[in-house]
Amino acid sequence: MRRVLVIGGGLAGLTAAIEAREAGAEVALLQAGQGVHHLFSGCIDLLAYPQPDGPAVENPLEAIARLAPEHPYAKIGGDAVVRAMVGFQRRVTEHGLTYLGDGRHQYRVLTAMGTLRLTGLTPLTMAVDPAQIDVVCSIGPYRNFSAGLVADGLSRLTKKNVRTLAFEVAQGELDAMGLAAKLAEPAESARFGDFLAREARGLTVAIPALLGLENAEEQKRSIESRFGGVLVEVPGLPPSIPGLRLMHALRRIALDRGVRIAQNVRAVGALDGGGVLRGVKVRVADLEREETADAVVLATGHLVTGGVVSTRGALREPVFDLPLSFPAGESFFRSRFLDRAGHPALSCGVIVDSSLRPLRDQSPVYENLFACGDILGGFDPYRERSGGGVALSTATVAGRLAAGVAR
Ligand SMILES: Cc1cc2nc3c(=O)[nH]c(=O)nc-3n(C[C@H](O)[C@H](O)[C@H](O)COP(=O)(O)OP(=O)(O)OC[C@H]3O[C@@H](n4cnc5c(N)ncnc54)[C@H](O)[C@@H]3O)c2cc1C
């Protein structure tokens, strides 16, 4: 059986590991720390703003077909994006998470700032037309959500009078995780449903994204049945319960399929077999050892998670020292934080061929090394709003190719 080693346990790494396993490989995944999912809204952005000064796109798949050749989506093609989306939706549904979207239109999701964000795939718990929302309800004592701020923004956007409500779950300094766990208790869920039945019967009610880590959809249905209305989650500040919910599901899927996950293990260098990788050197605490494999998938993320590091004024890929696409003479960041053109450092990453193999001087560095997710160059996940979609779809291709099957 072909042995695949995946480096990184974020959205891309877990997806690549599951794909490789489903394609028949023996798979091990190394994870040095957290991915960015505790910061992540839970929505999978496909592509919203391909041009810095252009309008938002309403049909992501149509826009993906027009991207420049260096963009990761252009390297793998639109069909691969559709296959990745469908595979993702099928798997997470098995684990009680429904993601809606077909890539041909955008969802509008309400934010904790009272604005709307565009996204390609949305969790069922957020999939409500914001114009339908009648009430915004805070869940006390959660401090990272102001029902007033959200209702004001929504009233301005929808020209309707959106009311606020406040529900107290528990006393004390419970954080998002603690509150979600408390609200997931059947008695507390029922008390909340009865509160809404008194205060907002039959209405559409937005709450901070604090439904439970497990069974959020069941909890939503059970609360809705008590007040006869619709409950919608609003993603907000970290730690993000919907982001963690998604990653818990993917992790469970990977483990159920037989992926071996090794935590707190950092890949630190190549086992170079002359044009092919024999595996990687890894560090666990102070010990160094070797992990051998027939193919390796690099899914180490970007600056936030150490996939790209900045040393002595230069950006580097630290595991294989792969060349990065970085415009000569550019500074890393523009002076304005929210510059519409994005920041050069965030669109720099490894340069790959159409099989997602990192290149040096236009040739694959190793025949059996594949890269996916935020580590890739040629796109800016933040400015474009494409991070989740690129992670899912490039990981699907990388996982399959690493397992030795057609993309
Ligand atoms: C604040 C924030 C909010 C975002 N919100 C959204 C959103 O709402 N929707 C959306 O679609 N996208 C969003 N994105 C973008 C999206 O999260 C990323 O594009 C996507 O999750 C990248 O996944 P990844 O697996 O490539 O990287 P990551 O999630 O960064 O995972 C990288 C993994 O590699 C591990 N790692 C790194 N180096 C090593 C090593 N040497 N050895 C072993 N392991 C290693 C890390 O510990 C981590 O587990 C957001 C990003 C940020 C920063």
How many other C-beta atoms lie within 10 A of the C-beta of residue 168?
A: 11
Cα angle 383, 210, 132; round to 5: 70
Ligand 1 centroid – CA 156 distance (Å): 34
User: For 240, which DSSP code?
Assistant: -
Predicted local distance difference test score (pLDDT) of residue 221: 97
Q: What is the pTM of this model?
A: 0.96
Contacts of 18 (CB under 8 A, 6+ apart): 91, 250, 253, 254, 257, 259, 399
Domain edge (last residue) among 200, 215, 234: 234
Q: Counting Cβ atoms within 10 Å, is residue 84 exposed (0-12), middle (13-18) or buried (19+)?
A: buried
Q: What are the tokens at 50?
A: 């391909």
> Who contacts 84 (Cβ-Cβ below 8 Å, separation ≥6)?
15, 392, 393, 395, 396, 397
| 105 found inside a domain | no
Name the domain boundary from 234, 261, 281.
234
Do 68 and 26 share a structural domain? Answer: yes
First to last CA, the chain: 18
pLDDT of residue 344: 80
Task: Find out whether the beta carbon of 33 lies less than 6 Å from any atom of ligand 1.
Answer: yes
374 lines ligand 1 (CB under 6 A): yes
Six-digit token string for 39: 């910061």
For residues 261 and 280, state if they share a domain: yes
Interval between CA 389 and ligand 1 midpoint (Å): 12
18 and 158 share a domain?
A: no
Quick one: 198 and 293 in the same domain? no
Same domain, 261 and 201: no
Looking at residue 328, its pLDDT comes to 61
Low-confidence ranges of the chain (pLDDT < 70): 173, 327-329
CB 319 less than 6 A from any atom of ligand 1: yes
CA of 300 to the centre of ligand 1 (A): 8
Q: What is the distance in A from the centroid of ligand 1 to the CA of 308?
A: 11
Whether the CB-CB separation of 386 and 4 falls below 8 Å is answered with no
165 lines ligand 1 (CB under 6 A): no
Q: How far is the centre of ligand 1, averaged over its atoms, from the C-alpha of 38 (Å)?
A: 9
As for how many domains the chain has, the answer is 2
Residue 196 lies in a domain: yes
Is the same domain home to 255 and 390? yes
Is any atom of ligand 1 closer than 6 Å to the C-beta of 263?
A: no
Say yes or no: 76 and 214 in one domain.
no
Closest ligand 1 atom, CA of 45? 11
57 DSSP 8-state letter: P
Q: Final residue of a domain: which of 210, 234, 258?
A: 234
What is the rounded average pLDDT for all residues in the chain?
94
Q: Ligand 1 pocket, 17 CB below 6 A?
A: no
Q: Is 142 in the pocket of ligand 1 (CB under 6 A)?
A: no
- CA angle in degrees (0–180, nearest 5) for 127-210-44: 40
Kindly state whether residues 92 and 196 are assigned to the same domain: no
Read off the pLDDT of residues 92-112 as tens digits, 9 standing for 90 and up.
999 999 999 999 999 999 999
Same domain, 152 and 80: no
Are residues 373 and 284 part of one domain?
Answer: yes
- In the reported structure, the alpha carbon of residue 305 is separated from the centroid of ligand 1 by a whole-number distance in angstroms of 7
**Ligand 1 centre and the CA of 8: distance in Å?**
9
Identify whether 289 is part of a domain. Answer: yes
Q: Which amino acid is at 162?
A: V
pLDDT at 123: 98
Pocket mutation for ligand 1, best pick of 108, 300, 382 (most atoms within 8 Å of C-beta): 300
Tell me the best of 30, 305, 338, 396 to mutate to test the pocket of ligand 1, counting ligand atoms within 8 Å of each CB and taking the most: 305
Task: Check pocket membership of 123 for ligand 1, CB cut-off 6 A.
Answer: no
Cα of 21 to ligand 1 centre, how many Å? Answer: 21
Phi, psi angles (nearest 5°) of residue 387: -60, -50
Q: Shortest CA distance to 48 belongs to which of 394, 397, 387?
A: 387
pLDDT at residue 149 in the model: 97
Residue 141 near residue 174, CB atoms below 8 Å: yes
**Residue 15 three-state SS:** helix
Decide: 381 in ligand 1 pocket, CB within 6 A.
Answer: yes
- Using CA atoms, how far residue 274 sits from 75, 136, 207, 366, in Å, is 26, 60, 56, 8
Range of the domain at 129: 112-234
CA 230 to centroid of ligand 1, rounded, Å: 32
Cβ–ligand 1 contact at 7 (below 6 Å): yes
What's the pLDDT score for residue 57?
97
Q: Are residues 254 and 394 in the same domain?
A: yes
The residue type found at 66 is R
If we measure between CA atoms, which residue out of 397, 388, 394 comes closest to residue 47? Answer: 388
Long-range contacts, 364-367 (Cβ 8 Å, 24+): 365/320, 365/322, 366/270, 366/272, 366/275, 366/276, 366/277, 366/296, 366/320, 367/275, 367/276
- 68 shares its domain with 206: no
Which CATH number fits the domain that encloses residue 331? 3.50.50.60
pLDDT in the model for residue 137 = 98
Please give the Cα distance from 208 to 85 (Å, whole number). Answer: 26
370 domain residue, yes or no: yes
Q: Is residue 351 part of a domain?
A: yes
Query: Ligand 1 within 6 A of 386 CB?
Result: no
Ligand 1 geometric centre to CA of 36 (Å): 4
List Cβ<8 Å contacts ≥24 apart for 92-95. Answer: 92/246, 92/249, 92/250, 92/253, 94/253, 95/249, 95/252, 95/253
Whether 84 is covered by a domain: the verdict is yes
210 inside domain: yes
Domain assignment present for residue 239? The answer is: no
pLDDT at 327: 66
CB-ligand 1 contact for 48 (6 Å cutoff): no
